[in-house]
Each structure stands twice: as structure tokens, then as C-alpha cells.
Structure 1
């Protein structure tokens, strides 16, 4: 469909602000846009939204069609697989026509009940899904009257009589904790405000531990709240004064230990409270040592209480060691799984009869089972992987709160196989499928093909790519439109996953691919180290190499290739827009970190100091300044022709401020040759975008319709026949 004549794009006034660092002079014409409370700024953002709506008005019908497709493929009234916590099965419910759903529970049938109950096939929204169902939280009721709603976490007390839950109704990720009496349904008078997420109960169920943030949005304090008292009377348990470190608090699966963890991007320190000896208070288990990262998991090996220490003290890809529960120097940690450069050990979960190790090798996630054997010298017997057949997949364990459980709840997904929940019985080594996320309308994973490809980056590094498309998409052997996603920061791995919304692209003949660029953790710690700080350019080179490899191998053409990334992935998109504009027809930048030099120069902004170890400190280090200045998207916009660009942001985002994409779009309009740039601002949302599933579907439908327009797929006949 041809676009109507374009209306005039908003023009931001140029009001130069000159700064100097390390003898380098920098002029910023649009910094005035950060004045969030200014009516002029709000008016400018609203004008951007109006312009975007006008420029995409021709896609309105397509947006509605895609939303209808997502809705038609989704079982709107559904139930999650119940998880056993003490004497109840806990689960979530969703209901047709409702945004948020409810959290519920039913009693277990007995101490040996490890088989999750199945809901009645005809469970209606106004009827219990299981006999004896108790609704703990009606999230739609809690969201009533709010434009935004997020449940930050909920935790049942050890007695299962109380529920602590946290809510955010603004989008700024500052939560309020309340406590509900599950016997009466009434709220206790306790209200804890300004927290970062939910609370952690002590073993007696008399106190809640929680964290708060400082002015730079860094989690710096852990507090203890006694039920029935005012927040002003809460006890400060731990205060982290080093601005590079953030704190958190949690309880072990055994319920014996409370742990406060203080961590920077490169260093960890843990403080432990033993519930068997509470008068001893929190004790530092191993003092921070620059560059040493570690975590603790309570286990019982050969009848002895031990800590499993997951640490990088012997190599970058981590080792699993065993140590006493008392504070122990590093030289006394005994290796259980020594460091292996070919295997990145990511985490460990301990149970009464087995250990579950989360690891990755050759770019794929793996679950490793270590069966415990009291007769063995180290308390460990058989050691093996849970095997799967697909070429590319993602597997991980979760929903395993009981220390004595004989099963491992795990999740499995591929780009074509919907999210699947299994129970693995360690005693019998049997894998039982409990549920696969339903995709309505006759969806068959066999209709799609998945591939692992490898691109050669600028320095010769081999970069993995995961790809999916319909088997009939390339019936003639020719190229197809393609959506390429990337991230590349914080050692976060963009592993293969399924998306119902993505089917609206695939079933119109497009392919989807993930470029597993450096800066992520897909190929081990080295992969992360080579995509951060002074090596950040590798991230952008890898993404451009992936795009060009897909063209060279005949999968797509530059005029039908759309790249996308969000947050730090939005920085990737902004850098690639400057460095390889000819490789793409369109680029989508979600909540993009595109003005990173300005942000990293301002230590008062949220998260800046804690991220010096990720990006560098350009304020204190001239070399770091030059490194960031060389690739910063906003600073490197030039007079050249750019792909079509859609930038999406949220007004209440505290992680990447809305001003970054606003300034970037203004500079693109100023400098680019015949720019086609749109800015879309959610005025009542945070970093994660809008809340509520229907709103999220509409939001994604907008983006997908824009992509399809760039790809030239807006008029494909029969596109909804497989919905």
C-alpha cells in the first residue's frame, strides 16, 4: 500500500550546550529535551506521536489484523502448570477479556503428591479451575483505575498464611509492598513503599527483608521490617556505600540461610545469616576481591552441610567448588566441577537427592544432573546431561522451590516449538511433558525449519545465528524478507525462543533470525569480554556481519532486511545505523540507549556508576571517552542516507530515559539525507513498555505492521489462513 503524502515532521529547536572533557569539546543541540516536566517537551513528544500516527495511518487495518491473529492464536482462558510450595499447588490463571489474570492455589493431596493437578477441561472464568481453589490475588482488580500496572513479585510466608506482594502503578520500578492475610482475605496495616521489587520472608515468618534504591536508582540498602510496625521503624540491615555495587537479598531453598549479596559487574561479596544461629547476625562469608565473582548454594553432601561455591577464581568460565558453611578463605574451596574453557557454568541448584547445574557449551544451554551418593567420597554419584534432539533450543529449570522434591521442573523451547514444561524424575530418569503452550488454529511446528548458521565478523570471529522460517517460504530457492534481532551486552544471552506474535511475520513469508553477537554470553565469558568496554565495536561488527552473511547465503536481500534491538540492543541498532546503513531497509530501536556518552558522563543519572565496568568511565578516563565517542549513536549521526527507522520509548523509563531516543531522532532529522524516522512514545509506561497483555499485543502489532511495510509484505493474500 502506498503511503499518503507525508506531513511535516516535528522539528526540535537547536539550543547548543557545549561541554569539555579531557580537552575534547562536544556540542549538544538537544539536551533541553530532558526537562521531563516542561510543557514544551511534553508537547514535542506528543507531536512526535501524532506524526508517527499520521505516517502509519495506512497500516491501521494491518495492525488490527495482526492483533486479531495474535488473539486468535492465544488460548485466552488458561492455567499455568501448578508448582508445589510446601502444602499447596500454586498457579496462575488468565481469562478471556482480562489483561492480567489471577494467582491461585489448591492444597496438595498428601506428602508424596508430586504430580501437578490437571485443571477441569471446561474450567470457566467464573468457576474454579481445580477443586478447592483459592484466589490469592486478582490482578485485574488491583490494576483497576491505573493506566499502568506491574506485579513486582509475591511471596508466601513459611506458614502459608500470609502473602507479601509488590505493585508498581507508574512504570518507574518503585514498588509498594503489602501483606495479605490468606485466611481472612484482609490486608494487614503494613505498607512498605519505595522498594525495588518484592520482599523476602525470614524462616519464622515474622519479618520481611527488602531493598531500596538511592537517588541514582542503585539498590543500596537492605531493610528488615517486623510485621505490625511502621516502615519508619524498619531496621537497616546492610548499606552498600560503593557506588559501583548494588545489593539484593534472598533465602536459600533449604530455608536455613538468608543471604545479602553485594555485587558490581565484576566483583561479589555475600553476607549470610544462619537461621539456626540468628543471634550471630549477618556475617561476611568471603570479602570482596576485585574481579572475583561468586555465589553460594546450601547443600547437604554425604550428610554434611556445605556451601556450593560458583566462582570464577580459577578461570573465566567458572568453577563449582565445595566449602564449609562458616566463612572460608578462597584457598580452602575444594573443586567439585573444575573450570573448563569449553563449558560455561552459569548456576547451580541443590536438592536433597541431586544437584542441577545450568551450563552452556558451543552456544547452547544445557542442564546437568549430579545425583547425590552418600557412599561417594565427595557425596556425588552419576553426572550427566538431560538430552534433547533439536539443533537449536533453550532449556532451563525453574519452579523448583522444595528442597526435598524428587523431580526437576524444566522449561524447553525452540524457535518453532512453543514453550514446553516438563518434570524430570531423577529417580527414574523419565521426562514427562506437563504442558506445551497452546497455539490455536492448527499450528504445527513441522511446518517450520530451524537452522544454526555462522557468520564471519570483521576480525575473523565466527558468530552464531539462529534462524527460523516456514518450510515453504523459499519454495523457489530465492531470498525472503527477514527480521534480524540482536542485543549484545551484560553477558545476557539471546537464546532461541518461541513467539506467537512472530507467526504474523513467518506466515507472511518472512524469516526471523537472532545474531548472537559478542557482548552477550552465548559462547562463554570470553564472548562477553570481547563485546564490552574497549572491545565494544565487536558487537556492531558482528551484527553487520550477520546481516551480510544472510544476504550472501541467499536468505534475504538488503532491501527487505529489518534489524531490531532494545535497550542496550537499541544502542547496537543505533551504531549499526551509522556504520552499515546500506545493510538494512529498516531498523527498530526499542527503548534505545543511543545517547550513551551523555549518560555515562553523568554520575548522577540512574545506573551510570554501576555500569562503568560495562562501558567505561568517560568522565574519569580519556581513553574510555574516546572509545565511547567513536561509536555512540547520537554523536555519530552523519550526512548520509539511513534506512527507515522506528524508535520506541516510554516516558517513565528509569533505565534508558526517553530523552535519548528523542534527541537521536531530532539529530537524524537534522543531519540525515532524506530521513524517514519515526518516534513513538508510550506516555504511561516504563522500560518494559505497556502493561496488560492486550495492550502489549497491540503494541507489538504496531511494530510488526511497520516491519511488514518495510519488507513489502502488507498485501500478502491469505495471511490469516493459518491463524
Structure 2
């Protein structure tokens, strides 16, 4: 087809039959799964050409938005230096370069805990560049940095890179005392890497054929010996991770399914020893472990949900974790998400009323009576949490803060006094003033009476009804917390309202909020979003002709289902790497990550009830002869989490079935993965492409 052609390519139909629980399905577009087939690639390229033709008139608007993002961004910038050992570590960017440069500089004195402040365009004295990703990425179209790990003594760097987008990384090592790269190279790893205390051994993970991290290995730097398997998890429901306690006293292997977990510990100064299980796994019980020193004694802090839906924290001897006492009790109104230990204080991360919060216990102030005090902020909608704090001995705690209208701040808190020291506020060029914008919370009401929190942000003085972008996710207990976005200003300044529907399936309102939007209650996620959209129309914020929706990955499943449930409510739907063919995927254990997803969605292979329930909401299965709104689906050819096939099949069926005139489009990145294109300028271009389309569909452009 030519670039100017205005009709979409017609996908051929090839009958592919599957039968489960006595139900036979004919899937005419399953042939699109074979990306090694030249006909499949040609079809994707034809769809790209159709999308390009349909959006060609937006070229000027895309250029304007890109220029706006660029003009508001301080391109040559530097993160707040973070102390670890003998050095300040930081990342900096340079104008015109796609990726960050990671560097360090020596500390001036042992008792120097105040980050150095340097003049614009200068570098720290004694700067050593550890890794320049611009050099690394020079010969590739895609670049993703996985591991970036410094040994405790500061002498070695382990880092890994994916140059395809399939999340298979190559792990390399650098001697930071000489600047030379070591001969050791390990291919096909998961992204992380963890050093032993002696800086001689590295622990890393590999994945199975389904892309599940399942094995932890130990590599002896320079030894030339075969790497040793230190842990292997055969159960396909469980995902394996490797890390350390914040004290760096222990190496930690975490094993978890969606509903069950298990932790193994090994002293970091005994890297060739055996990992020991803390508490044996029990179905349905989740827990995590942190190491603390309290009153001079080693203790384990155990965050768990046994008989505690929203989790509680218990404290136990390191050598007898089964005998524990409650430190932070369960609270039905507060979801405890994490506890972290430093030499002088403990930090509790939790959420209440759909807002993330932080509380601190000063170990030196209360003796045996550990008391947590909340770090308070004035804004109704904001996010606060730990920033980079690699030093266990730090006398101050570094925190991050942001809201929908306040650029991200990094500050340090003097725990003993509560005094705050602002280290950096995200620069927004061009005279940005938060007072020009508003953010507030509203509540929609679902059909079953459940109150659904909505977050809204907009420029003051807009006329209502207004163009409105409604965003949602609603899976995996992931919460869509308030955050600032430079690029989003290009929407707000054109009169668009940005709204987030904090629907069930997420974690905003506690564990029950998640449980009420998964497996056999998953439809609550979709109906909550529809009820949120209807609330925004009913209360005069917008109209269906001005309302557009966005979701990505599992959020793509959300809006794909919503397109079938209420197409009349929206004038445009943006689906990014959308999980829109869930039944096909979850029925096939050979596909990446399928088995571990059964706890989230149910197992349709074993259960007829689950099969029928998933089939009743699957976006692909339920495409019908409806007048669909304009739909833009974006996917990546090398995505291993949500295969490009899902979007390709969904769009083919939508284009076949729709009885309306609104275009259904597919845009496939031919050299990217689940996160889309790499490099900040390329990402700005992609954002400009999406925003221009959303603005047109909402009538704001």
C-alpha cells in the first residue's frame, strides 16, 4: 500500500482451532504469531503505513509538542550525588545525548554527608566516568541498561545491557581502579547482579524458556571456573530474585508467586556458603525480610500477611525467626508495603486513603519502645518515599516527594530533629508555576456501591465540559500514585483534564482493593473504569465526544474490555503494549510468563469456570459489530511480556468487525521491547505522537 492510502490492510484469515472444556474456538488471526514469517512482518509494516497515513496531518502538532517537552527539560543536568563508601555517585545528562552518563567523585572527608553543590555546567573534582551509555549504545537501535552494581569496596562494576528489547542481558565487569574491562562476560542473564562482601563473587539470575527468572548463579571473578548454581526453583509459578539487606550483612534470595513467598539468607561475607530458608513457604502466605540491629542485637523484621490482610511487621531473632513478636500491628485502614532498617532508624512505607506515606522510628530516641512518626505533607494528593540511601550508617534519611503539579523534590531529613533540607527540585524550564494548576480527588460510585477514587489535574480557569484523558491500570496491586510529568503539561496547557481512575485490581485502597479486581472478580476493574467515565460525564467535567482513554500492558486489557462494554462513552482509546488476548495467552503454558500469571487471572486450563469467565471479558474474544471509537494500539516486535501478536490480532478483528467510521490503527516498533523505544529523545518523539493523537480525538487540537 502507499503512504497516502486511507484504508487499512486486510489480514487474511486462516482457521486455527482450539478446544477447551467442550468449547471450540476458531481463531482466524492466530497465524500472526509467527514473527519469522515474512508475510507477518509485511502485514505489520502495512499497518504502520496505514497509521502513518491516518496521522500525517498531525505532523506539525507532534513537532510542537516535542519542542515543548524539549524546551521545558534541562537537557544537561545531574542527579543529587549519593554517598556510598569513599565516593559520591551520580548520573548526569548532556544536551543532545540520548542516555545518562554514570560517574563518581571522591568524598572530601569521612564525616562529609552533605552532597556537593556544583556550578552549572561543571563537574565534580576528581570525576571518574563509570559508564557512558551513549558510547555503549552507539552501534545499536535499542539500548537498555539492566544491572549497575558497584562492589562494596568500590573497586569493581558489574553491569548488563539488552540491545534487542527481549530482556536478555549480557553481563560485563569493569575494574574501576584501572578503568579496564575484565575478560569475564556472561550472556543471557536477567537484569540484576549482586556482589559478595569481598567483591570477588557476583550473584546473578537466568531465566527459563518462559522468561521466568528461576536460577541464581555464583560467578568467581577471573577464576575461569564454571559458574555455580546456588538456587534453582522448579515450580513454574514462582519467580526468583537476588539482593541484599540494606545493611549489606546478608544476601537475600526471594522466591515468590502472586500469593506465596519464601526468603533465603546467606551472610554476605560467606559467599560460598549455603543459603538458609527463613520461613518455609506456605500457600497463600507472603512475607519479606529485613535485617536490623536493635539495642545491639541482630534482628529480622518480617513483613507478612498471615491473618493480616493488609500486612503487619514482626521482629524475631536472626537464628530463630519462627519465634517473633509484633512490631507494627495489622490495620484494616492502612496497607503496609515495606519496612527498611538503617543503623539509627527504621522506615515504614504504607498507604492510606489511596495516598503513599512514610513513617520513621528513631532507634535512639525511644529505647525499647519503637514509635513510628509520619512524615507529613500539606498536599491532598502527593507521593512520598525513600530516595537513594545506600549507606546503612547515614545520619540523615533521603526522601523523594512529588504531586501531579509539583516537580519532584529530593530532600534529606534529620531524623532526630525532623528538620528538612531540600537538595534538588526537578527543573522545569520556561517559567512553570504550580499555582497555575489544580489537583483534587473525586469519588465515583460503582453499581455495587463501592466508592472509586479519582485523581484530577488541570490548568486553572478551564471551561467545562473539557477534553479529558482518563487513565487506568487496575492489576497486580499496582497503584497509580500522584507524579509530576513535564510532557503532560502539553496536554494541560491545551485545556485538557488528566484523570486517573484508581480502580479495583490496583492497590490504592489496600489488599482487598486488589482481591476485588482479580481472578473471578476481574470484571470489577472494567466496570469501575466505565463508572468513573460516566461520573466524569454526569458531573460535567467532559462529554463522550471529548473523552479519551489510555492504558498500557494489563491496563491495555482494561481499556480493550471497556471498548467492548461502553464504546459510546469514548472518542478515542490509546492501548499501549496491550494485553488484549489474555485467554489465548493464559491457556498456553509454553508462552512467556503464563504459569506465574494463573494466580492473577485464574487457570483456564484446569477450571471451566475460569475459562468461561475469562472468555466473557477478553477484549479479543468479545469484539463485535459495534461502532468503536478511534483506537490506536502500540506494540513492540521484541516484547517478551505482552507479545506483539495480541495487539496485531485485536486490531485485525476490530478492523473487520467495526461498523463505525473511526479508524482502528496499529503501530509496531520493529526494534523495541515492552518499554517501547529507548533513548530520551526517541521517547519524547513517541510521547508527542501519542499526545497529538489524543488531543485531536478529544477536540483539544
1:235 maps to which residue? 228
Aligned length: 698
1:415 matches 2:404 = yes
Residues 285 and 326, structure 1, Cα contact 8 Å, conserved in 2: no
The 1-side partners of 2:269 and 2:45 are apart by 58
1:188 maps to which residue? 182
Residues 469 and 506, structure 1, Cα contact 8 Å, conserved in 2: yes
The equivalent position to 1:139 in structure 2, one of 133, 137, 140, is 133
2:618 maps to which residue? 632
The equivalent position to 1:487 in structure 2, one of 464, 473, 486, is 473
**What SS class does the counterpart of residue 713 from structure 1 fall into?**
coil
2:424 maps to which residue? 435
Q: 1:86-111: per-residue Cα shift (whole Å, max 9, x none)?
A: 11111100010000020011111222
Q: 1:656-713: per-residue Cα shift (whole Å, max 9, x none)?
A: 0000000000000111113520100000100000000000000010000000111122
The 1-side partners of 2:282 and 2:77 are apart by 48
1:463 matches 2:452 = yes
The 1-side partners of 2:355 and 2:6 are apart by 47
Q: Shift of residue 251 of structure 1?
A: 1.4
2:496 maps to which residue? 510
Give TM-score, length-normalised by structure 1: 0.95
Q: Shift of residue 276 of structure 1?
A: 5.5
The 1-side partners of 2:154 and 2:691 are apart by 43
2:663 maps to which residue? 676
Q: Which runs of 5+ in 2 are unaligned?
A: none
The 2-side partners of 1:57 and 1:318 are apart by 51
Structure 1's 162 and 22: CA in aligned 2 closer, same or farther, altered over 3 A?
same
Residues 358 and 367, structure 1, Cα contact 8 Å, conserved in 2: yes
The 1-side partners of 2:7 and 2:49 are apart by 11
The 2-side partners of 1:375 and 1:89 are apart by 32
The 2-side partners of 1:364 and 1:216 are apart by 35
1:249 maps to which residue? 242
Q: Shift of residue 428 of structure 1?
A: 2.0
Residues 201 and 271, structure 2, Cα contact 8 Å, conserved in 1: no
1:588 maps to which residue? 574
Q: 1:361-420: per-residue Cα shift (whole Å, max 9, x none)?
A: 111110011111487335x2x421000000101111020111111111111111111111
1:572 maps to which residue? 558
**What SS class does the counterpart of residue 295 from structure 1 fall into?**
strand
1:75 maps to which residue? 74
Residues 148 and 171, structure 1, Cα contact 8 Å, conserved in 2: yes
Residues 5 and 50, structure 2, Cα contact 8 Å, conserved in 1: no
Q: 1:408-455: per-residue Cα shift (whole Å, max 9, x none)?
A: 111111111111111111022111111111111000000001110000
The 1-side partners of 2:394 and 2:617 are apart by 50
The equivalent position to 2:522 in structure 1, one of 530, 536, 545, is 536
Structure 1's 704 and 374: CA in aligned 2 closer, same or farther, altered over 3 A?
closer
**What SS class does the counterpart of residue 372 from structure 2 fall into?**
strand
**Residues 18-29 of structure 1 aligned to structure 2 (within 5 Å):** 18-29=17-28
Q: 1:223-265: per-residue Cα shift (whole Å, max 9, x none)?
A: 00000144x7000000000000010111112221111111100
**What SS class does the counterpart of residue 278 from structure 2 fall into?**
strand
1:653 matches 2:647 = no
Residues 265 and 613, structure 1, Cα contact 8 Å, conserved in 2: yes
1:304 maps to which residue? 297
- Could you list the structure 1 runs, at least 4 aligned residues long, displaced by more than 6 angstroms after superposition: none
The 2-side partners of 1:388 and 1:72 are apart by 30
Q: Which moved more, 1:28-37 or 1:666-675?
A: 666-675
Q: 1:570-617: per-residue Cα shift (whole Å, max 9, x none)?
A: 000100000011111110000000000000000000010001000011
**What SS class does the counterpart of residue 563 from structure 2 fall into?**
helix
**What SS class does the counterpart of residue 376 from structure 2 fall into?**
coil
1:501 matches 2:497 = no
Give TM-score, length-normalised by structure 2: 0.98
**What SS class does the counterpart of residue 41 from structure 2 fall into?**
helix
1:718 maps to which residue? none
Q: 1:325-382: per-residue Cα shift (whole Å, max 9, x none)?
A: 12532xx22100011111100001101110000000111110011111487335x2x4
**What SS class does the counterpart of residue 612 from structure 1 fall into?**
helix
1:377 maps to which residue? 368
1:179 matches 2:173 = yes
Q: 1:596-651: per-residue Cα shift (whole Å, max 9, x none)?
A: 00000000000100010000111111111011001000000011101110000000
Q: Shift of residue 16 of structure 1?
A: 1.3
The 2-side partners of 1:712 and 1:279 are apart by 63
1:59 maps to which residue? 58
Q: Shift of residue 26 of structure 1?
A: 1.1
The 2-side partners of 1:140 and 1:46 are apart by 29
The 1-side partners of 2:39 and 2:654 are apart by 20
2:695 maps to which residue? 708
Residues 286 and 327, structure 1, Cα contact 8 Å, conserved in 2: no
The 2-side partners of 1:277 and 1:647 are apart by 50
Residues 454 and 463, structure 1, Cα contact 8 Å, conserved in 2: yes
Structure 1's 277 and 149: CA in aligned 2 closer, same or farther, altered over 3 A?
closer
Residues 247 and 260, structure 1, Cα contact 8 Å, conserved in 2: yes
Residues 238 and 257, structure 2, Cα contact 8 Å, conserved in 1: yes
The equivalent position to 1:198 in structure 2, one of 160, 178, 192, is 192
The 1-side partners of 2:68 and 2:583 are apart by 41
Residues 362 and 416, structure 2, Cα contact 8 Å, conserved in 1: no
The equivalent position to 2:311 in structure 1, one of 302, 313, 318, is 318
2:384 maps to which residue? 395
1:97 maps to which residue? 96
**Residues 617-628 of structure 1 aligned to structure 2 (within 5 Å):** 617-628=603-614
The equivalent position to 2:164 in structure 1, one of 166, 170, 173, is 170
The 2-side partners of 1:375 and 1:516 are apart by 38
1:721 maps to which residue? none
Q: Which runs of 5+ in 1 are unaligned?
A: 124-128, 715-723
Q: Shift of residue 278 of structure 1?
A: 5.7
The 2-side partners of 1:88 and 1:633 are apart by 52
The 1-side partners of 2:366 and 2:24 are apart by 69
Q: Shift of residue 277 of structure 1?
A: 5.6
Q: Shift of residue 472 of structure 1?
A: 1.7
Residues 302 and 375, structure 1, Cα contact 8 Å, conserved in 2: no
Superposed CA RMSD in Å reads: 1.3
Structure 1's 130 and 669: CA in aligned 2 closer, same or farther, altered over 3 A?
same
The 2-side partners of 1:375 and 1:467 are apart by 41
**What SS class does the counterpart of residue 497 from structure 1 fall into?**
coil
Q: Shift of residue 460 of structure 1?
A: 1.0
The 2-side partners of 1:325 and 1:34 are apart by 50
Q: 1:505-539: per-residue Cα shift (whole Å, max 9, x none)?
A: 10011110110011110001000000100000000
**What SS class does the counterpart of residue 233 from structure 1 fall into?**
coil
The 2-side partners of 1:712 and 1:554 are apart by 16
